[in-house]
Amino acid sequence: MSKLGIGVIGVGTLGRRHAENLRRAIPAAQLIAVADADGGRAKQVASELEIQHHFDNVEDLLEREDIQAVVVATPSRFHASVTRLAAVAGKHVFCEKPPALLMEEAESAMSAVAKAGVQFQIGFMRRYDPPYTRAKKLIEAGEIGEPILFKSIGRDRQPPPRSFFQGGINGTLFLDAAIHEFDLARWLMNDEVAEVHSFGGVRACPELAEFGDVDSAVVNMRFGRGGIGNVECLRKSNYGYDIRTEVVGSRGALEIGYLRQTAQLVLTSAGASYDTVDHWLVRFADAYLNELGYFVDAVLKEKPMQVDGQEGLRALAVCLAAERSHRESRPVALESSARLEGNTKNAAGLEIAR
């Protein structure tokens, strides 16, 4: 197989970007079709990308024999069900985060993947962002010694539209946004999160209260080997898309991320100013391309996925613990990550910390 035939399921903002990358920037991929519950949107994207096939349902896309893999970029509530359908149809799956909104659904999807013997990758694109990739290599090389402290900030310039929150189809701030920070924490600290204590509020976007969500959150973490960490998420910073991470080790520290969009700095009598990163598609453009490029290459060459279903389950477990901690106003402990191996039941492993 010289090229991998792929279908994209869900062509909203991110699904459209994935489709564009597959069509125009990944030579080993052949974008065959797109599908979206909004048939008009699927037709428009297909026309823009000059591909013939578009559908308003998942089943018709999965029936195509020239499609060997799919990208799942639907609203989060449907990630698990679409993954199961794709696996049963024998398609390899790249699924956007989170793998599901409930642990039981995520486990069911991963069981279907294992039973079908297909490849699965979860969309933690920051692992493919060059600055983060470089930081991981430096940590593994021992440049900062043993990681002991983790800090990560994730601030959107503006929140998604109201439709994003309606019906809870994309989960709360903990599941939709903080999951990236939790994945980075596990990855860069090379350790599992053992306990979380979350605090959240609705101050910047009061309209989110009607959806039972928060617009800001801080999550304190304790890791299995004794390290500690802190994650901060904000839906509305107003000034830009601000993603920064710091890892402090026994012999030094690493800072990853930037806010300035360009190297241009304007100095006037009014002060100094510079352009800030405006959107996540801009900041992580390379990462989105790199992660899909790896997925295509891994399927074609039958290589193991770097960010597989188990990574998705572990990050989801931290999300659910953080969400529960906020809801019940108390620390929540996560049981040993060994319970996540083999997709066992109750893999979230949550219990109230004593």
The domain spanning residue 101 has which CATH number? 3.40.50.720
Q: Is the dihedral of CA 228, 99, 322, 170 positive or negative?
A: positive
Q: Are 217 and 199 in contact (CB under 8 A)?
A: yes
Domain that holds residue 166: 130-283+312-352
To which residue do tokens 């989060």 refer?
Answer: 76
Q: Are 91 and 70 in contact (CB under 8 A)?
A: yes
- The model's pTM is 0.92
Tell me if residue 139 falls in helix, strand or coil: helix
Same domain, 79 and 153: no
DSSP state of 102: S
To which residue do tokens 């193991």 refer?
Answer: 304
C-alpha–C-alpha distance, residues 12 and 3, integer Å = 25
Worst-scoring range by mean pLDDT, 72-81, 266-275, 320-329?
A: 266-275
C-alpha closest to that of 44 among 76, 21, 78, 19: 19
Helices (H) and strands (E) in the chain, counts: 12, 16
pLDDT tens for each residue of 300-317: 999 999 999 999 999 999
Q: Are 19 and 44 in contact (CB under 8 A)?
A: no
Residue 300 CB neighbour total at 10 angstroms: 17
Same domain, 134 and 278: yes
Same domain, 92 and 188: no
Same domain, 121 and 181: no
Tell me if residue 340 falls in helix, strand or coil: helix
Worst-scoring range by mean pLDDT, 158-162, 270-274, 276-280?
A: 270-274
C-alpha–C-alpha distance, residues 276 and 45, integer Å = 29
Q: Quick one: tokens of 50?
A: 């000059």
Q: In the chain, how many domains are there?
A: 2
Residue 79 CB-density burial (10 A; 0-12 exposed, 13-18 middle, 19+ buried): buried
pLDDT tens for each residue of 108-141: 999 999 999 999 999 999 999 999 999 999 999 9
Same domain, 45 and 182: no
Same domain, 73 and 144: no
Looking at residue 54, its pLDDT comes to 99
pLDDT over 50 at 164, yes or no: yes
Q: Are 86 and 70 in contact (CB under 8 A)?
A: yes
